[in-house]
Structure 1
Amino acid sequence: FSPVIIPVLLLAGVLYDLFNSELPPGIDQPLKLRFFHSLMITAMISGKILQKLGICSDFSLLRILLDGIPPCRDPKLLIKDLKVDEVPLRIYQPKWPPTGKRRGILYFHGGAGTFGSIRAFERICRYIAKKCDSVVVSVGYRLAPEHPYPGQYFDCLNATLYFMRNLEEYHVDPALIIISGDSCGANFATVICQMLLNKRDLPKVRAQILLYPGLQGLDFHLPSYQQNASVPILFRKLVIYFCFRYLNKEPSGLEDVLQGCHVPESMKQKYKKWISADIIPDEFKIRGYIPQKSTSYKPEVHEKIKEILGLTFSPLLAEDSIISQLPESYIVTCEFDVLRDDGLLYKKRLEDNGIRVTWYHSESGFHGILAFFGYGIFSFLSAKKIMDSTVNYINSL
């Protein structure tokens, strides 16, 4: 390889970012975000080239980049790695003697089901374990497309069942189990909480913590999708692209899915009471929102990506009989995140069903901001505020 290639690819990433991304006024540390986004684009472009050359898969470089740098050993924590049904778990326990039984927190990391790892979210899990005097279980569910959908949900469920059946070993209070995650990991947490309602032999979940969750695949024209369509690090088109890749399908017809041609008219009518811009508070439409014109249903598009309309992909569509049984919830939304309105809609559904919701809205946050948490000068101020609010919530339980 010529030594010129790396600077050229980096320049391509910078130029792509400059010409395609939008950094609205008020977003946290825009120059730093632009730098990280350029690196991410460079990794994706380089991955495509390496795949064409038959060297590695196109996600390989992105996975390495997002894995981050492993932190130093922490003398205050006992950290144990194990596998449950081939799924890696990392368990964080404070070394100081407990005053009583501790909380048990399961954490499912983000990454569109196709990247992300235990290591990438090591700093978050350590922070929660220490600040909340809790046992934290980070779940390294196996990634798509190598491990096909919906395997990720079963990996998360099996890890949860293992932990719930071995609470005594970790000195965890069965009345204080919390299920949490960020981005697609928050989707997994939502689905696992819904699945566990049928398992009467297990302890009841105390709370679910959903950090900027993605919860539906019906409407990609909600106000947050329009306002933040080109805001790093998750563009609107990238959401749909990652959906295709997660399902191990050829990412074609993105525009049709974006326009909602994959949703049958009967389904749109049935669920508009739960998924609609009309339900989003007006304060979130100030930055602009244009109601979408009606689009015609295309059965071939539906057939291609119908999985995103199922209850695992879109737990926001669960019936009231399910939602009304869910545990107390903590939801984080970020102003400059395409997925913001998914969190707002789920918050409303939970509250309408009598579930207590604690909501934290990051006015300057963007999607994926927690991936940079704990990196000193490379971190974002809003990420620290989100984590401190989350810690305060956990400590209040």
Structure 2
Amino acid sequence: MGFLSSFLLLILAALIALVILLVVGSIYMDATQTEIPPGVEQPAKVHIIHVGTVGMALLGKIFENLRICSQIQVIRYLQNRGTQGKDSRLFKKDVKFKGVPVRIYQPKAPSAGRRKGIVFFHGGGWVVGSIGTHDKMCCYFARESKSVVVSVDYRLAPEHKYPVPLNDCLAATTHFLEAAEDHGVDSGQVIVAGSSSGGNLAAAVCQALAGRSGLPKVRAQILIHPVLQAIDLNLPSYQQNRAVPFAFREQAASSVLQYLKGESSLLKEVLEGSHVPVTQKLQYQKWLSANHIPKEFKARGYNPPVTMPCKDDVYEAVKALSSPGFSPLLADDAVICQLPETCIVTCEYDILRDDGLLYKKRLEDHQIPVTWYHIANGFHGILGFFDSGWFSFPSAKKGMDDIVKFIKSL
């Protein structure tokens, strides 16, 4: 009995030590590796939330070092705890579209006619996130816009590399366009939407469907702080916000490589830009250049990077990053001009801000109607905190309501 008591005390002490290590480590990493500009909404609250996310990552790393499971698996598990709720005003149903798991959100209130439909792709850098982590967001869109929302649970990297997640999203969208009326949706009123990496998938799906015959046309696309290119990670927003939660510059490059290759070697080369031939960089300048970013967005500082010579072996390993399926900003003009009306949401304190600004310009140059919402005190992922109790941000709720206003206007 004495041995058992001693063993249990030892386990308890180890658990307490682990908790202390996580708390202290999280606070230390937040303090030393994070920059939260004073213009960010409620910076103290952002610090607290970030400490939690760092703790989650540290716990994952401990489990990985103990060879219990990978860090990514731990983060996925923790993110999905308690993320799903009930909404008495909606029907929810989990089904499959062409083998791809989806969750359908349908308002219970009767409708005078067929509803709008929204196909939604969650964020998470292609490696984490799920229909569960974005459940509240989809509930809100369905309830407030009186639309049928289909949230797609596409397969994730590194287990499933590019283009598997994109193909899942394309298959689910194609099925919904074909079967919209079976779900009480007007097939001519289907919107494709996504957040962060999901915004990348939404943009790529819309481009893949542009001009495709035999299918109803997508009515609009909604791109919430989207990833739209992986060629230049030295744009002003990448420099200014490189260490601002909740999307760090190095973390973003690592996620890109996990999506493409299933691992994140060549991180240094992608960050410095030596993965793209100089001739291609010159070709892309008409679409992808800091010169196209309005001056007010460079006010917090910008140093034009030194052009790095391309390493041929690196280019061969990651040349798919230059494809429109991965970098929708680089699509041909013939595709861009066929895209639907667009809503783009950007945040000032977000490395991806300039991706959204550059895509906005490309679309407008081709007379595509663009509604742009810019959250001046927002950070990456802020909309996910629109309804999180004490952790909520007023700008997040306003951003969600702006998107609903756009949906209703269609």
Q: Same fold (TM over 0.5)?
A: yes
Q: Distance in 1 between matches of 2:85 and 2:346?
A: 30
Partner secondary structure for residue 133 of structure 2? helix
> What is the aligned partner in structure 1 of residue 139 from structure 2?
126
Identity %: 49
Distance in 1, Cα, partners of 2:148 & 2:46: 32
Counterparts of 1:377-392 in structure 2, within 5 Å, are: 377-392=390-405
**Residue aligning to 1:369:** 382
* CA apart distance, 1:345: 0.2
Offset at residue 262 of structure 1 (A): 0.5
SS of the equivalent of 1:358 reads: strand
* Residue in structure 2 matched with residue 145 of structure 1 by the alignment: 158
Whether 1:230 aligns to 2:243 is: yes
Does the 8 A contact of 2:85 with 2:136 survive in 1?
no
Corresponding position: 1:212 with 2:225: yes
How many matched pairs? 397
Partner Cα separation in structure 1 for residue 188 and residue 283 of structure 2:
37
CA distance in 1, matches of 2:57, 2:130: 17
CA contact (8 A) 1:212 1:332 kept: yes
Among residues 283, 292, 309, which one is paired with 2:322 in the alignment? 309
In structure 2, distance between residues paired with 1:339 and 1:125 = 22
Cα distance change on mapping 1:262 and 1:320 into 2, 3 Å: same
Q: Per-residue CA shift, 1:320-349, capped at 9, x if unaligned?
A: 111001000000000000000000000000
1:280 to 2:293 alignment: yes
SS at match of 1:382: helix
How far 1:71 moved relative to its partner? Answer: 4.3
The TM-score, its normalising length taken from structure 1, stands at 0.97
Deviation string 1:121-173 (CA, Å, 9 cap, x unpaired) is 01111111111111000101111112222100111011111111111211111
- Unaligned 5+ segments in structure 2 are 1-10
Alpha-carbon deviation of 1:395? 0.7
SS in 2 for 1:81: strand
Letter in 2 for 1:202: L
Q: Contact 2:40–2:378 (CA<8 Å) still a contact in 1?
A: yes
In the alignment, is the contact (CA less than 8 A) between 2:158 and 2:263 conserved in 1?
A: no
Amino acid at match of 2:65: K
Residue 176 (structure 1) aligned to one of 169, 177, 189: 189
User: Where in structure 2 are the equivalents of 1:308-327 lying within 5 Å?
Assistant: 308-327=321-340
The one-letter code matched in structure 1 to 2:353 is: R
State the match for 1:101 in structure 2. 114
Matched, 1:114 2:107: no
Deviates further, 239-248 or 184-193: 239-248
The code of the aligned residue for 1:260 comes to: G
* Larger mean Cα displacement after TM superposition, 58-67 or 135-144: 58-67
Q: Distance in 2 between matches of 1:229 and 1:72?
A: 34
CA distance in 2, matches of 1:65, 1:72: 16
Contact kept, 8 Å, 2:159 with 2:262, in 1: the verdict is no
Report deviation, 1:228: 0.3
The aligned residue for residue 346 of structure 2 is: 333
Q: Structure 1 residue 269 and structure 2 residue 282: aligned?
A: yes
Q: How high is the TM-score relative to the length of structure 2?
A: 0.94
Say if 1:123 and 1:373, in contact at 8 Å, map to a contact too: no
For 1:84, the aligned partner's letter is: F
Q: What 5-or-longer segments of structure 1 have no aligned partner?
A: none
Deviation at residue 249 of structure 1 after TM alignment: 4.1
Distance (whole Å) between structure 2 residues aligned to residue 200 and residue 249 of structure 1: 34
Q: What is the deviation of 1:305?
A: 2.5
Alpha-carbon distance between aligned partners in 2 of 1:315 and 1:101, rounded to the nearest angstrom: 31
Contact 2:160–2:262 (Cα < 8 Å) also in 1: no
Deviates more, 1:323-332 or 1:85-94: 85-94
